[in-house]
Amino acid sequence: MSTAAPTAPAAAYRLTSARVLRAEWHKLWTVRSTWITLLTAVVSTIGLGVAIGATYENGGDDSDMDTVFLTLVGFQFALIALAVLGILVTAGEYSTGLVRSSLTAVPRRTPVLWAKTAVFGAVVLATTLTTAFVTFFAAQAFYADTDQAASLGDPGILRALLGSAAGLTLLAVIALGIGALVRSVPGAIGGFIALILILPSVLTMLPYDIVDDLVDYFPAESFNSLNTARPAADAAAPGEALLALVLWAAAFLVSAAALLKRRDV
C-alpha cells in the first residue's frame, strides 16, 4: 500500500511582494557593476568636494558660488554613474536574457518593475544622502574662517543637502525608467543624455518665453534648483523642482509599465 509523498505547504511557494523585493535586492547586489558604480559616485563626490575645499582661496574666483553646489559639485559626475546603473538594472536584463526568468517567475510583470524601482531608489537615496552629509562636513573642515563657511542651521543648507540627494535619486530613477522603455543599454544611455543635455539646449534656442519657462522644469534644471542653498531668481522654486522630477520619473515608469504589459519579452 503506497502513500502519497508529503507536499510542502502552498504558502511556501506563494508569490508575494516581499519575495519579489527580496529577489530584486539580491539581483542588484550580486552584480559587480552595482559596487563599481556606487563606489565611483561616492568617491568622486567626496574626493572632489574635499579637493576643492583643501585648495579653496578666500575671496577667490569661486567666492560667489553657492556653498552646497560647490561642495557637491561631484554629484554632477556621480549622476553619470548612477544613471548608467539605473539603465543596467532594467535594460541590462534584456541584453543578458535574465528578464525572461524574472517575468516567468512573476507573470503579472509590473511587480518586477515596481520592485526594481523601490530597491534601486532606496539604495541610491541612502547612498547619496550619506555622501552629501559626509562631503559637506569634510569640506567645511577646510572652509572654516572663509566666505564659504556654513552650518546645517544656515538658511537653505539642510534643504539643499536633502534636495540634492532626492534630486539625484529621481534622476537615476528616470534613467531606470528610460532603460525599461528602450530595453537597450546604448539606446537608453543615448536617450537619457538627450533628455538631460541636448533637448533643453535645443529648446532654449526657440524665441519663445514660455519655452524658457518650461525648460526650468526639465530634469537637469530642476536638479540644479535643488542642489543649491540659494536658487537663482529665474530658476524653479525647490518645491516645484522636486515635484517636476517626481512627475518626470512617474511618467517614464508608468509608460514603461504599460508597455511591459502589452509587449512580448
Sign of CA dihedral 100, 102, 107, 112: negative
Nine-digit cell at 116?
526594481
CA distance 20 to 13: 12
User: Residue 221 half-sphere exposure, CB side, CA atoms within 13 Å?
Assistant: 21
Question: What residue has cell string 534644471?
Answer: 221
Mean pLDDT of 9-30: 80
Orientation angle between helical segments 75-96 and 32-54, nearest 10 degrees: 170
Note the pLDDT tens digit of each residue in 204-250.
888 888 888 899 999 999 999 999 999 888 888 999 999 999 999 99
pLDDT of res. 261: 84
Mean pLDDT of 158-168: 97
Mean pLDDT of 73-92: 94
Contact 227, 163 (CB under 8 A): yes
Length of the chain counted residue by residue: 265
CA distance 265 to 262: 10
Question: What residue has cell string 569634510?
Answer: 138
Note the pLDDT tens digit of each residue in 118-144.
999 999 999 999 999 999 999 999 998
Taking the model in full, what pTM does it have?
A: 0.91
Task: Give me the numbers of helices (H) and strands (E) for the chain, helices first please.
Answer: 12, 0
Contact 112, 24 (CB under 8 A): yes
CA distance 103 to 259: 14
